[in-house]
Amino acid sequence: MSERSDVGRLRKPSSLAGDAWRDLRRKPIFWISLALVLLVTAMAAAPGLFTSNDPTDCALSRQHAAPSGGALFGYDFQGCDTYARAVYGARASLLVGALSALFTGAIALLVGMLAGYFGGWVDAVLSRVIDIVLGIPLLLAAIVLLKRVSVDSATVRLTAVIFVLAVLGWTTAARVVRSSVISARQQDYVAAARMLGAGNGRIMWRHILPNTLAPAIVVLTIALGTFIAAEATLSFLGIGLREPTISWGIDINSGRVHMRESATPLVVPSTFLALTVLAFIMLGDAIRDAFDPKLR
């Protein structure tokens, strides 16, 4: 009896996800980037755990002062704790990145699903829309859109940045969803479901959607990293988030201006931003490699 169940377990066909997971477990890059992502997420959720200093407690008397009393990297031009500001900056970045990725994912799933499933003129129209949006350079369009937001309220600016990134950034994910919908649509189980009398909605929701989720999540993980970079770039230019919101992009810009007097206010937020973006991109890259055997 026990022998037979052993054989049964050995022969159990390993799923794609199972294979991918075994592949991922052996990769140091996966663990490093996952650890970094978790660390930044913790920082965004509870910055008080990482520093006891107040990032808005600034005094010009401490301008470019040396590290002291919990301020690991000293003080910046305005006399704010450089390290505390970098820690508190994680929240805005992750909020923008995660929400933009979420909205991007929603638009991409909807458009990709409709275009891939129905084909024909629906596909033709939606694909042209994708082409046009993809043909607009992201940074330029974001500048145009955000220049119209003249309000300085922190929530309004945050919403505007998320909206702009989502509206401009969904195209790559939509293409990925569309192509995986097209390949899933031709599978036997879809034909079987249709013959059993399932309608379009049920087939899309129950049979095709689960198959498009994995590639979509991979693209969105990478997109999350690029959205964080884009938010920082826009804030750096002065049209994204603005003071009093704490953002790495703003701090990098002010650190850059005063780099000759002291470089740490430039280097610290730069390192935080670069590591966060890298972590998401490498995580997505590792998962994609694991899920796509062709690339091995």
The footprint of other proteins (CB under 8 A) covers 128, 131-132, 135-137, 139-141, 143-145, 147-148, 225, 229, 232-233, 236-239, 249, 252-253, 255-256, 259-260, 263, 266-267, 270, 273-274, 277-278, 281-282, 285
Q: Does 47 sit behind a cis peptide bond, omega within 30 degrees of 0 on the bond before it? A: no
| Tokens found for residue 175 | 């293409």
C-alpha separations of 126 from 112, 171, 178, 271 in Å: 8, 10, 10, 40
Least gap, CB of 62 to other proteins (angstroms) = 22
* Burial class of 25 by CB neighbour count within 10 A (0 to 12, 13 to 18, 19+): exposed
Distance CA 168, CA 156 (A): 18
**Residue among 88, 33, 30 nearest 277 (CA):** 33
How far is Cα of residue 274 from the mean position of the Cα atoms in its chain? 13
SS3 of the chain: helix, strand, coil, percent, to 5: 75, 0, 25
CB 233, CB 249: distance < 8 Å: yes
Identity of the residue, 26 or 260, whose beta carbon is nearer to other proteins in the bound complex: 260
- Bridge partners for 71 per DSSP: 68
Tell me how far apart the alpha carbons of residues 223 and 108 are, in angstroms, rounded to a whole number.
12
**CB of residue 263 to other proteins, shortest distance in Å:** 6
The nearest distance, CB 222 to other proteins, in angstroms, is: 10
- Looking at beta carbons only, is 108 or 239 nearer to other proteins? 239
Smallest distance, other proteins to C-beta of residue 252, A: 6
Q: Minimum distance from CB of 281 to other proteins (Å)?
A: 4
Nearer CB in complex with other proteins: 108/266? 266
Q: Least distance in Å: CB of 143 to other proteins?
A: 6
- Whole-Å CA distances, 266 to 8, 64, 116, 273: 59, 12, 46, 11
Cβ at position 76, least distance to other proteins in Å: 14
Nearer to other proteins, 161 or 282 (CB): 282
115 vs 266 by CB, closer to other proteins: 266
Q: Distances from the Cα of 27 to the Cαs of 172, 189, 224, 279, 296, in angstroms?
A: 26, 34, 21, 14, 13
Distance CA 36, CA 126 (A): 37
DSSP-based three-state secondary structure for 186: coil
